[in-house]
Amino acid sequence: MSVLIIDDEEHGRVLVRQYLQPYARFFIAGECANGIEAIRLINRVEPDLVFLDIQMPGANGFEVLQQIDHVPRVIFTTAYDKYAIQAFDASAVDYLLKPYTRERFDHTVARLEKQTPPQSLAAAAAYQKQAGFADRVLVEYNKRYRNIAAGDIVFMRASGDYTEIHTSGASYLSATGISLLSSKFDPQKFIRIHRSVVVNMSYVREVYKDIGKTFVVMETGIEFNVGRNYLPLIRNLMV
């Protein structure tokens, strides 16, 4: 089941990712932090499920639902209880009031599964295998568009509203924001380790800790400090 996570607070997005990790049938297809980008992302990805914050810049959660062509199942996540009636009027699967626990999250997943036809759950694995991740992207370079293989990308780094794309031999600047750009690639291979950095796990040489901080070292030698909110994603890969 393809999932989008939409929340203007970074720790809110990280928490949903962390709580979804035990559920292999859910596949995170992307995330974003404002209503305008949410509309574009939902229409492009056409997810099965969206975890949707309500109060966000650009457009609130209800305004997002009014402006999308593809209407997915929705689980609202918000710190405000005053929207509950409106949320269920919008046919929400559930209404997660922040801060919520893993137990409460698991209850929501159970509710979702009761409302999901068995054939949809059976198709989740097949969907994941067939998901349209980009094998290549066209990035503007010297007034032309360079064809770059996803496997050649070492890391991506946010630069304002733009994104730097770094391969082992060159760097490019994309006008697409890092959240939307990274959603084009397989999240099992491209891991967000900081609000401004996404790394290709194929190029990660090692991870180490120093004075209470965690660092990722790439094969190219560059090091990145792992953001505190993204530590659970790295720890989940440690065996």
Domains of the chain: 2-130 (3.40.50.2300), 136-235 (2.40.50.1020)
pLDDT at 128: 47
Bridge partner residues of 146 (DSSP) = 139
Q: Which residue has better confidence, 80 or 229?
A: 80
Averaged pLDDT for residues 126-146: 73
Closest CA to 44 of 65, 66, 64, 70: 70
Residue 78 and residue 53 in contact, taking contact as beta carbons nearer than 8 Å: yes
Q: What is the C-alpha separation between 180 and 174, in angstroms, rounded? A: 11
3-state secondary structure of 94: strand
Averaged pLDDT for residues 55-84: 92
Residue 234 and residue 197 in contact, taking contact as beta carbons nearer than 8 Å: no
pLDDT at 117: 60
pLDDT at 98: 93
* Alpha helices per DSSP H over the chain: 10-20, 35-45, 61-66, 84-89, 102-114, 118-122, 124-130, 178-182, 231-235
pLDDT at 79: 92
Phi first, then psi: what are they for 205, rounded to 5°? -80, -45
The proportion of the chain whose per-residue pLDDT surpasses 90, expressed as a percent, equals: 52
pLDDT beyond 60 at 19: yes
pLDDT at 21: 83
pLDDT at 37: 92
pLDDT tens, residue by residue, 181-197: 888 888 888 999 998 99
pLDDT beyond 90 at 154: yes
Residue 115 and residue 101 in contact, taking contact as beta carbons nearer than 8 Å: no
Q: What is the mean pLDDT of the chain?
A: 87
pLDDT tens, residue by residue, 204-228: 999 999 988 999 999 999 999 999 8
**Residues for the chain: how many in total?**
239
Averaged pLDDT for residues 78-104: 91
The proportion of the chain whose per-residue pLDDT surpasses 70, expressed as a percent, equals: 93
pLDDT at 188: 80
Q: What is the C-alpha separation between 198 and 214, in angstroms, rounded? A: 15
pLDDT beyond 60 at 130: no
